[in-house]
Chains A and B, each alone.
Chain A
Amino acid sequence: DIQMTQSPSSLSASVGDRVTITCRASQGISNYLAWYQQKPGKVPKLLIYAASTLQSGVPSRFSGSGSGTDFTLTISSLQPEDVATYYCQKYNSAPSLTFGGGTKVEIK
């Protein structure tokens, strides 16, 4: 099975900082990767699919990149409302899907 490893597991950054979260697959998954945001006590929200396509309504400060085994989610200017846990999810071996372990983002 392909494993998905997210790093870091948590981070603390200041408002306005550029934040990068990494998701690494143990084998190539092309661009079959999505990113989700889950705010405390809330339902997950789809941010990005196909590694780099921004979901409708998601602020443009969020972006995704990568292909194969290494992927990144970038928040260009961290805002207070971005405090959340972020998850990557692969779907190359559909219908079986896998989430990464999550990255908790906090404000310094």
Chain B
Amino acid sequence: EVQLVESGGGLVQPGRSLRLSCAASGFTFDDYAMHWVRQAPGKGLEWVSGISWNSGSIGYADSVKGRFTISRDNAKNSLYLQMNSLRAEDTALYYCAKDMGPGGYAAIYYYGMDVWGQGTTVTVSS
């Protein structure tokens, strides 16, 4: 069964850090780009960051650029999101999602996110 399981969320004070993890199974992890997408309570979807199959192509939303770092370990079938200098507006449900393409610096290598985890909740509050 194709599956993504996120972990690492929790309650954290503003300015602190948190590291999210996503464990993948049921597919060849290193064939595909991966993404983090978040959804604040009662709000829409916001793409946060994405990484190509070989980590050669990485992108961030402007709202997290310089504070968040995406990475992957293909040997461990795992995706990560290091979140530093957290703000109240980072409070959201964070989803890990698999792209149908390998990713890269061209749109032709992306197709949309066909597998999603259940999400992990991050709450930033004092």
A49 and B45 in contact, given A43-B116, A95-B52, A95-B57 (Cβ under 8 angstroms): no
Contact call A30/B107, Cβ cutoff below 8 A: yes
- The 8 A CB mask of B61-89 against A (1 = contact, 0 = none) is 11000000000000000000000000000
| Alpha-carbon separation in the docked complex, A96 to B51 (Å) | 10
- The 8 A CB mask of B91-126 against A (1 = contact, 0 = none) is 000010100100111110111111011110000000
In this complex, the member of B97, B100, B105, B113 whose beta carbon has the largest number of chain A beta carbons within 10 angstroms is B113
Contact call B46/A99, Cβ cutoff below 8 A: yes
Inter-chain contacts of A45 with B (CB < 8 A): 116
In this complex, the member of B37, B100, B107, B109 whose beta carbon has the largest number of chain A beta carbons within 10 angstroms is B107
Inter-chain contacts of A49 with B (CB < 8 A): 100, 111-112
Give me the interface of A with B, judged by CB distance under 8 Å: 1, 30, 32, 34, 36, 38, 43-46, 48-50, 55, 85, 87, 89, 91-102
| Alpha-carbon separation in the docked complex, A49 to B107 (Å) | 12
Listed A/B pairs (15) with beta-carbon separation below 8 Å: A32-B107, A34-B111, A36-B45, A43-B116, A43-B119, A44-B116, A46-B113, A87-B44, A87-B45, A89-B45, A95-B50, A95-B110, A96-B50, A99-B46, A99-B47
Secondary structure class of chain A's binding surface, majority of residues: loop
Interface size, B (range): 20 to 34
Inter-chain contacts of B45 with A (CB < 8 A): 36, 38, 44, 87, 89, 99, 102
| Alpha-carbon separation in the docked complex, A44 to B45 (Å) | 9
A-B contact sample (4 more), CB < 8 A, given A94-B103, A99-B45: A34-B112, A55-B114, A91-B107, A101-B44
Contact call B118/A95, Cβ cutoff below 8 A: no
In this assembly, does B22 line the interface, its C-beta being within 8 Å of a C-beta of chain A? no
